[in-house]
A and B are shown apart, each in its own frame.
Chain A
Amino acid sequence: MDELTRQRTRAKWDAAAKNFDVMSSRGPEKRWAPYKREFFSAMRGRILFLAVGTGLDIQFFPPNCQIVGIDISPKMLEQARARADAYPGKLELREMDVHALEFPAASFDQVFTSCTFCSVPDPVGGLESLRRVLVPGGELHMFEHTGSRYFPFNLMLNIMTPLARRFGPDMNRPTVANVERAGFRIRDVRHVYLDVVKAIVAEAPASTAG
């Protein structure tokens, strides 16, 4: 990802940080709470969490995990700090772009993402970076909203995307296909709402070559 795109992405999410909790902390998070609790209950070993945002997901992490949480936006991380400090386990926050991860290869057993690959500018590139830092056979767990295969939902999501993208996420990304394009093997896809909000579990190849 080039430097200009990185700066624009950071500026967009820095701007969104101010009102993020107002928009997301009640309706969406309460609605998704039972699904997210179950989703994050699979956390084990050394974990990379992308992207932290204001830390709304931290309440769903099981205790005593060893997690590194990253986000491109310093303003988001600033708001996440108190929630991270209150987490009963090891949770380190770092400002980092998923396209340029500063971790050696095979640093993590698992990667978790939550409503992230609607926002990352180069999704396949970002997923390839995640694959590099996962151990061979490591797990990728994603809670994401994506495009839909079905009319009229796909029409609505396509109409919304040009506007939504200016202030926040894309609404019509083919995230499951992107995960496969990045070299992961899909293990499970579970629908939370229509075929739009879903939990995806994928596996890095047993050999990191390629």
Chain B
Amino acid sequence: MERRPYFVFGDVLTSVGSGGLAGLVCAAVIGTGWNMWLGMLVGMALGMALAMVLSFACLLVLFGAMEVMLPSMLSGMLAGMVVGMAAPMGELPAAKGALMGALIGVGVMLFNYAMDAYLSRRASPWTS
């Protein structure tokens, strides 16, 4: 599990930034007239695409490779999914979408750290 402050900061920025950006844009794009399932699918795809752009534009260069790409895409996808489903159900300001996305990012980061702590022990040979 990562303990160096610079990279922990990068991990927070990656998950919160990707989730926040996905939430912000999805809340702005997906409106109350949308079908909820369509909103969800568009939100997931858009969230993931935005996270990928953010990663390649700056996060990867600064903070790591797979350590950035996986949490970033996961945060973007989940934030897009949740905001994409919430936006059709009632008025959702972009700032609230961003906040929801950022909180999802925090959740993704904690999940990632927990999984990393569990898996970073010596592994058995059958692991792919």
Contacts and interface: CB of A to CB of B under 8 A. Distances in A.
Interface string B27-67: 00000000000000000000010000000000111111111
B126 A190 contact: no
Q: Is the interface of A mostly helix, strand, loop or mixed?
A: mixed
Interface string A150-176: 101100110110000000000001111
A157 B65 CA distance: 12
Given A174-B128, A176-B126, A194 B62 contact: no
Nearest to A157: B70
Secondary structure call for the B interface: helix
A174 B126 CA distance: 10
Contact of B70 (A28, A189, A196): A196
Interface residues of A, number: 38
Interface string A187-200: 01111111111100
Contact of B122 (A24, A180, A188): A188
Interface string B87-128: 000000000000000000000000010011001111111111
What bracket does the count of chain B residues touching chain A fall in? Answer: 20 to 34
B119 A194 contact: yes
B67 A31 contact: yes
Nearest to A145: B66
A100 interface: no
A26 B62 contact: yes
A145 B123 CA distance: 14
Contacts of B48: 159
A27 B63 contact: yes
B65 A190 contact: no
B65 A175 contact: no
Contacts of A173: 128
A153 B123 contact: no
Contacts of B67: 31, 193, 197
A31 B64 contact: yes
A189 B61 contact: no
A166 to B, nearest CB: 13
A203 to B, nearest CB: 12
Contacts of B123: 189-191, 195, 198
Nearest to A185: B125
A83 interface: no
Contacts of A180: 125
A46 to B, nearest CB: 26
Please provide the 10 A-B residue pairs with the shortest distance between their CB atoms, ordered closest to farther. Answer: A174-B128, A186-B125, A28-B65, A31-B64, A189-B123, A27-B63, A191-B120, A27-B64, A27-B62, A147-B128
Interface of A: 22-24, 26-28, 31-32, 145-150, 152-153, 156-157, 159-160, 173-177, 180, 186, 188-198
Given A153-B115, A174-B128, A193-B116, 12 more contacts: A27-B64, A145-B65, A150-B115, A156-B69, A156-B73, A159-B48, A175-B128, A176-B125, A180-B125, A193-B120, A194-B66, A196-B70
